[in-house]
Amino acid sequence: MTLNDLPLATALTIGLAIAYLLGSIPSAVWIGKSFYGIDVREKGSKNAGTTNTIRVLGLLPGLFVLAIDVFKGWLAVYFAKFFGSSLAEMNPDYLVYYQLVVGMFAVIGHALPVFAHFKGGKGVATMLGVVIGLFERIIPLVLAVFVVVFILTHYISASSMSAAISFPIFYATCSIWLHYDINTVQLCFSIIVALFIIWTHRKNIKRLINKQEPKFKFKKTVD
């Protein structure tokens, strides 16, 4: 039996489940426990993401976590092409919409991973993978915002939120500049992404306001 032989609803559901399971791979937790005997969720900011991994374990393991988490998001939307192939035959836009939902399931999996007692990261890297897979024309601009804000502030949280906020802005403006129609669903998705990233950084926002947010350093800073 092939994917094309499955009922459409079944194929779509399997795709969503795989996306969630991919997102649930707790790279920071597994790398920390397997190679260092440390659960990064118990040290530093207690977040299972790239930034805290670098603070607790160092730059190299942090880069591995970043690569894996980005790849999870990209792979989820890539697999969605196969599980949603019947949608593309109906209308190419339907497949894109399905990929957007699949991407969100991957991010939810990262934030609430079944393999790590539903205590994961903030979803920035996994969301980046989703955006790379679906918005390749926008991603260089979004990354540029991240880099510029980071150079100016040295705050990963501020850089992530600034990049997220720029995402829907760039999507709308580039649509005008490049003369292609704005897809309302994709625009709504970009806005949801921005709101989601801000929501997951709500504690960072409080620390930034109170001037208690630690600046990022490319080395281990937590014992």
User: What pLDDT does 3 receive?
Assistant: 66
**Cβ atoms of residues 133 and 78 within 8 Å:** yes
Closest CA to 106 of 211, 198, 20: 20
Q: What is the pLDDT of residue 72?
A: 96
How do residues 96-118 score in pLDDT, each as one tens digit? 999 999 999 999 999 999 999 89
Instruction: Please give the residue that has the higher pLDDT: either 2 or 140.
Output: 140
Distances (CA, A) of 127 to 101, 177, 190, 209, 223: 12, 25, 11, 25, 29
Say whether pLDDT at 1 is over 60: no
The pLDDT of residue 180: 66
Distances (CA, A) of 189 to 131, 145, 168: 10, 19, 8
What is the predicted pLDDT for the residue at 40?
A: 93
pTM for this entry: 0.90
Question: What tens digit of pLDDT does each residue of 72-81 get?
Answer: 999 999 999 9
pLDDT the model gives residue 31? 95
Q: What does the pLDDT read at residue 179?
A: 63
Mean per-residue pLDDT, 204-211: 94
Q: Which residue has the higher pLDDT, 3 or 196?
A: 196
Q: Residue 141's pLDDT is what?
A: 93
Confidence of residue 178 (pLDDT cuts 50, 70, 90): low
**Average pLDDT, rounded, for the chain:** 90
The total of other beta-carbon atoms located within 10 Å of residue 34's CB is 9
Which position has the higher pLDDT, 101 or 85?
101
pLDDT bin (cut points 50, 70, 90) of residue 174 is confident
What percentage of the chain reaches a pLDDT higher than 90?
A: 67
Q: How many helices (H) and strands (E) are present in the chain, helices listed first?
A: 11, 0
pLDDT surpassing 90 at residue 155: yes
120's CB contacts (< 8 A; 6+ apart) are: 24, 26, 48, 109, 110, 111, 112, 113
Distance between CA atoms of residues 33 and 21, nearest Å:
20
pLDDT band, very low/low/confident/very high, at 158 (cuts 50, 70, 90)? very high
> Tens digit of pLDDT for each residue in 2-49?
666 678 889 899 999 999 999 999 999 999 999 999 999 999 888 898
